[in-house]
Chain A
Amino acid sequence: MIKSKILYVAVLLFCLCACKHEKGEYHSLREKIEAEGKKYHGTDISSEAYIGDIETVVITEGDDTFLIPERKGQIKSYACTECHSKPLAGMQHTITGQRAHWDITLGHADENAMNCATCHNGNDMDNLNSLTGNTVDFNTSYRLCSQCHAPQFEDWKGGAHGKNIGGWARPRAAMTCVNCHDPHRPGIPSKWPVRFNTQKVRERE
């Protein structure tokens, strides 16, 4: 009985010393992260399963390589050339009474800065075009956005802007600009919070 108690105390003391030692090893959390990060070998945890049914494409921008959702398959009537079979000028003046894209009004920057042709190319409807007229694929539409929104683009590449998909582990997958922002009206409207806590009110009476 006594022996086991002594043993218990000894083990306790040992654990205690051990714990304290571990705690005191670094002066700050940042130091610990840096020191232990150097020994990082990677983990066998994968987030791949949590991306789910989303079709993704790999992109590499600067040092960052990650997955973004494939876009073309998500656009209702891609490829655009299925309708846009003739030049735009011809289509604008047909009086069939049918108007495509009636629901799109441009609410992005002002008229001086942007119009449809800033991003769309009337001669190559299946692709986007950059400010300098270079072709940009619909799947990498972020390249258009980054022309003006450079700081956001930097943050997005690093992971500070935009929404992660699935899990924190590799492979990294993130939403691209157009998954959250409607490119024609990128502002996000206000809405109501999803819940209200009635107990909290009572608590603070």
Chain B
Amino acid sequence: MVRDSLGYITHGSKPYHVWMIFLSAVMLVGMYCYSIQIEEGLSATGMTDRVSWGLYISNFTFLVGVAAAAVMLVMPTYVLHDIDFKHAVLIGEGLAVAALLMCLAFVVADMGGPSVLWHMIPGIGVFNFPSSMLAWDVIVLNGYLFINITIPLYILFRHYQGKEANPRVYIPGSILSVLWAVGIHLVTAFLYEGLQARPFWNNALLGPRFLASAFAAGPALIILVLAGIRSFTAFKIEDRTIKKIAMIVVVAAQINLIMLISELFKEFYAPTHHSESAYYLFFGLEGKTALLPWIWTAIPLNVLATILLTFHKLRNNPKVLYFCCFILFVAIWIEKGFGLIVPGFIPGPYGKIAEYTPTGVEIGVTLGIWAMGAFIFTMLAKTSIGIELGKLRYKKKSVRGSKTA
């Protein structure tokens, strides 16, 4: 299977090759930037003692959401036997795997001592398990990664051999993954929510809002990807599938908006000194306004997309749908990345304001990791599409190869 799929993914159309070469180039740039960061230390980034988490952790947080969103497709497909989603779900899980790998890459990029990361491996390191939320996060993310690799792998492998997958094997796994997906996102939210030092994060709504925004942004991305796949490959994805996913996006986006309103009300109706971070985010503090353009891009985009998607007529128009999905995705990326992490540190514990601007190195590494994600996803998607379309099938020769898969 490995040899077959390797062969399969190294062959393709010209745009495919251009795309992959482009991604590889970006990855190389990212690796170069990372080597600078390793050499100089994290001082190569824009982070300081004041704002000690930046672009990396922002992207990490956002991508956990994207990964969790794959579950929205798993549930109906495997458990409720909704055939519609069957095609989409493999893409969704591929997306989850790519997003998770990106998450892990972002966390590693953010570490001060990547060479001693083995301290985190249970068994040989010391794992501060029930008490540290980061330890929980490591467990749930890796567990989720494992589930999301094994289930599609099993199904694809059966299909590859020309057999049907046994529901008794994969359905328990799917149900587990459904619960698990909620878990990864909640745990990631708890990572921030549990810090009494940062009032901006220490907020009971953070977890639910994480989920809502994730279930808006994740499926939005899936819709865009499906649209891409539809126009570039022969893989048939029905309109009904996309419409159903769009429905998920709408509901999640609406809930997200309601929670946003609730949050804004709480921060600005009766502001305390705990609202200063929110003030900084939305209006700037003491003339420091670095995040203003970002958040004022995100909020209107978010509102616009949610309103447009709410109307059936507009939603059923693919062009509007894709546009809305795109702006929603961007809006949530800003809101849950930058807009969540950076203001948590501003003002600092003693009210000091030091702004954060990512450096070129940091942006380079970030782009590199995104390119890596896209690269992995393209490979996964191509293989699974190949198998699903029947182009990639088991032949006698490749028995040994399949064992190692």
Contacts and interface: CB of A to CB of B under 8 A. Distances in A.
Contact of B354 (A5, A16, A203): A203
A8 B123 contact: yes
A12 interface: yes
Interface residues of B, number: 12
Contact of A204 (B123, B127, B129, B352): B352
A8 B48 CA distance: 37
Interface in B113-159: 122-123, 127, 129-131
B123 A203 contact: no
A199 B95 CA distance: 43
B353 A204 contact: yes
Size class of the contact patch on chain A: under 10
Given A5-B123, A8-B123, A203 B50 contact: yes
Given A203-B48, A203-B354, A16 B123 contact: no
Contacts of B123: 5, 8
Nearest to B129: A12
B48 A16 contact: no
A204 B354 contact: yes
A16 B132 CA distance: 12
A8 B127 CA distance: 11
Nearest to B122: A8
Contacts of B127: 12
Given A204-B352, A204-B353, A16 B130 contact: yes
Contacts of A16: 129-131
A16 B128 CA distance: 10
Contacts of A204: 50, 352-354
Given A5-B123, A203-B48, A203-B354, 13 more contacts: A8-B122, A8-B123, A12-B127, A12-B129, A16-B129, A16-B130, A16-B131, A203-B49, A203-B50, A204-B50, A204-B352, A204-B353, A204-B354
Interface of A: 5, 8, 12, 16, 203-204
16 contacts: A5-B123, A8-B122, A8-B123, A12-B127, A12-B129, A16-B129, A16-B130, A16-B131, A203-B48, A203-B49, A203-B50, A203-B354, A204-B50, A204-B352, A204-B353, A204-B354
